[in-house]
Structure 1
Amino acid sequence: MQTVGFLRTLAATSLAFGVLLTVTACHSSDDSGMTPANAADAPLANDPACQSLTPASQGGPLPQGDTAVLRWLGTANYELAYHGVVIIMDTYYDRPARTPSVGFTVSQVTRANVILIGHAHSDHISDVAAVAAQTKAQVIGSAITTQEAQVLGVPASQTVTVKGDNTEKFTYGDITISPTHIIHSTIEAGLTTQLAALYALDAPPLTAAEQQQHDAVAARGSNDPNIITQGTMGFTFTFPNGFRIVWFDSVSNPSPEESQLAQIVAPGVDVGIFPWTPHPIAETQLGYTFQHLQLFKPKLYLPDHHDAIWGAWLDNGLSPLFMKIRDQLPGTKYAEPLYRSPICVRTTGNNRDDFYMGGTSS
């Protein structure tokens, strides 16, 4: 499974090579082992956090200096580590039967300064109670999200409800977090039925035990229809020097608050993390995902929510999106992350926004 994923990453990098070539040529010291005079431009590959497959939230190494490390942990789960701070985005680790494992168990997630939940559907919030108990971190989300977190077992005192009007600020170490109300994606009536039928046609049915586990995971979340228009949040992370990361765990047409955020962060952000789902037809999904890239103009784009969930979503290949970025947004680099692999990004120095994808050891 990882070998296939690695080849896909190489393919994605190759698609981007016209953009990445100048980065590689200008900054080949990342692989040379030489120490530049400017410590901010030291080789990213030399940082132990940039070689470890163990996330910081599970006791893995924290990045050194001003390096920010992002890790995709399946679906829309991400982790950010910077200056000793660990931020968890979504908590959906115990996945339904036959869905590829993210490579760890919920019990291993024990370190976080804060837990951000984009919305309360089960494939974003299902493990929030266990993670909150183990890390003692506050859980931040919309009113629907924090209500569901409490239903799942998070103490009310450990939750923070936000409006997402771009005025709320939360500071953890050197990172300021601001929530923004966004609109959740919608799909055509009958699409989920068709996708379930495709799984039934092309794969053996779940065993009774697998179905029981599948149903138990799906039950840990809300199906409130107001999640679509009222209950979904995006989050912006701002560092002291203005380096910015924007993370969404769903995309539809931009809300007024999202359009306002794009003006606040203009001319663009350093890293944008936006979903490439749920529409299995790339032509349809491009209309949603690409407009967010146009709004926020990230120097680096990282996808989320594009992997399969057995019986529900297919693995959405990224090539159509990457080719459109290559051809129409030449200032945006892009990469296909692997579960748990570190994506190390420079936040300062002459080579700010340079990045390195590592992870060769546990």
Structure 2
Amino acid sequence: MTVTLDWFGCTTYRLNIDGLVVFLDTFMDRISSAPDNGATSAGITEADFALIGHSHMDHIEGADIIAKNTGAQVIGSYETARVLRKAGVSKDQLLPSAGGETYRLNADVTVKVFPSIHSCIWSEAAPSGVNLTGDLGVPQQERAARLAANRDDKTSLPEALAAEQTELDKIRIGSSNDGGALDYLIDTPDGTIFFQNSMGYYSGILAKIRADVTIMGCAGRGNIDGEPIQGSVEDYVEGVLTTVQPKRVVLGHHDNWAGAPDTPDLMDITPIRERLSKVAPDIEIIEPGYQDGMNLL
């Protein structure tokens, strides 16, 4: 069996499992200041399933277009299903989930859904190599107020890029709520693939997961059991990988997907590489290019 992987930026990937096409998230439409991933959601002509990790725009956008154009079924939270129904996707194509479900994708491939938790976007964040502490025990009302303030503090774009953004906004879907993050474990005859699109987990759930390959986001402030990690991005990545014990890890969510001006195309993940070389030297670290079509298993 041949299993290939294409990256479209952020945490959007396409798995081709011997002809079964499975998208992991679907966000790919971006303004010209973002690095060119060579793709648009309208240009996707083949998909059987899409697994959406949570309902924010930078993960769910494009799912409606891909589902309508290909007939793909979409697995995601109930909020994801609500957003897609509102966007005109047939109810028959939606598989709303809360975690605990197992779906058969074809005769040989299944996916199990796990409840997860979003990174602490209400708290301070930093790139890998920077330790963050504090913000423990913050009540939900204060978290919500901080998040609302962060959303109001938007970086303005130059006029030409702002015009591009306005055009993109016409096709954008998503929710201000994450809808409850979900992780996925895909089981194929050649091995298992664990997908986590946001830096958060419930430790009791993660402890039961093992996979041959982990595909994970590596940006933001990690969330462990509802509290921000006291440490760094590499601390979080170490925690996931030493638990799940994959042979390979594919890192994502570290490109400049939003096209922020004066921002590198890729965040430096050297601190993650250095940490894993010490604590898990046998794990192969993969930073794919866009649409590389790499062999995954």
Asked if Structure 1 and Structure 2 have the same fold, meaning a TM-score greater than 0.5 normalized by the shorter chain, the answer is yes
Q: Distance in 1 between matches of 2:44 and 2:12?
A: 12
Identity %: 27
Number of the residue aligned with 1:298: 246
Tell me the distance in 2 between the aligned counterparts of 1:127 and 1:119: 13
C-alpha contact 2:214 2:250 (8 A) present in aligned 1:
yes
Sort the Cα spacing of 1:195 and 1:287 in 2 relative to 1 into closer, same or farther, 3 A. Answer: farther
**1:84 matched to which residue of 2?**
19
Change (3 A) 1:189 1:251: closer
Cα distance per residue 1:43-66 (max 9 Å; x no partner): xxxxxxxxxxxxxxxxxxxxxxx2
Q: Distance in 2 between matches of 1:195 and 1:322?
A: 31
**Secondary structure of the structure 2 residue equivalent to 1:234:** strand
Instruction: Give yes or no for the alignment of 1:239 onto 2:188.
Output: yes
| 1:97–1:214 contact (8 Å) kept in structure 2 | no
Please state if 1:169 is matched with 2:103: yes
Match of residue 173, structure 2, among 220, 223, 241: 220
* Cross-structure match for 1:27: none
SS of structure 2 residue aligned to 1:94: coil
Contact 2:32-2:161 at 8 Å conserved across structures: no
Identify the match of residue 123 of structure 1 among 39, 44, 58. 58
- Consecutive unaligned residues in structure 1, runs of 5 or more: 1-65, 347-362
Query: Could you tell me which residue of structure 2 aligns to residue 333 of structure 1?
Result: 284
Deviation of 1:292 after TM superposition, in Å, equals 1.0
TM-superposed CA distance for 1:81, in Å, is 1.0
More strand by share: 2
Shift of 1:255: 5.0
Matched, 1:276 2:225: no
Shift of 1:189: 4.5
Query: Does the aligned pair in 2 maintain the 1:286–1:321 contact within 8 Å?
Result: yes
Are 2:272 and 1:321 equivalent residues in the alignment?
yes
1:145/1:231 contact within 8 Å kept: no
Contact 2:48–2:73 (8 Å) recurs in 1: yes
1:344 is aligned with what amino acid?
N
SS of the residue 1:132 aligns to: helix
The 1-side partners of 2:188 and 2:160 are apart by: 46
CA contact (8 A) 2:29 2:62 kept: yes
Q: Distance in 2 between matches of 1:216 and 1:311?
A: 19
Q: Which runs of 5+ in 2 are unaligned?
A: 126-146, 223-230
Deviation (angstroms), 1:279: 4.8
Residues 24-71 of structure 1 deviation map (CA, whole Å, 9 limit, x = unaligned) = xxxxxxxxxxxxxxxxxxxxxxxxxxxxxxxxxxxxxxxxxx221111
Q: Which residue, 64, 71, 75 being the options, matches 2:6?
A: 71
Q: In structure 2, what is the Cα distance between the partners aligned to 1:98 and 1:343?
A: 26
Could you tell me which residue of structure 1 aligns to residue 141 of structure 2? none
Q: CA deviation at 1:115?
A: 1.2
User: How far apart are 1:73 and its partner, in Å?
Assistant: 1.2
Matching of residues 1-362 of structure 1 within 5 Å:
66-165=1-100, 167-189=101-123, 204=158, 206-213=160-167, 215-216=169-170, 219-224=172-177, 227=178, 231-240=180-189, 243-254=191-202, 256-260=204-208, 262=209, 265=210, 269-279=211-221, 284-308=232-256, 309-311=258-260, 315-346=266-297
TM-score if structure 1 supplies the norm length? 0.66
Secondary structure of 1:185's match?
coil
In structure 1, distance between residues paired with 2:154 and 2:277: 32
What is the TM-score when the length of structure 2 is the normalising length?
A: 0.79
Q: Cα 1:307–1:257, aligned 2, differ >3 Å: closer, same or farther?
A: same
- The separation in 2 between residues aligned to 1:114 and 1:197, in whole angstroms, is 36
- Displacement after TM superposition at 1:72 (Å): 1.0
CA distance in 1, matches of 2:81, 2:255: 26
User: 1:146/1:68 Cα in 2 relative to 1: closer, same or farther (>3 Å)?
Assistant: same
Structure 1 residue 214, shift from structure 2 partner: 5.2
* Alpha-carbon distance in 2 for matches of 1:232, 1:194: 20
Aligned CA RMSD, in angstroms, stands at 2.8
Instruction: Give yes or no for contact 1:120–1:221 (8 Å, CA) kept in 2.
Output: yes
| Cα distance between partner residues in 2 of 1:195 and 1:335 | 32
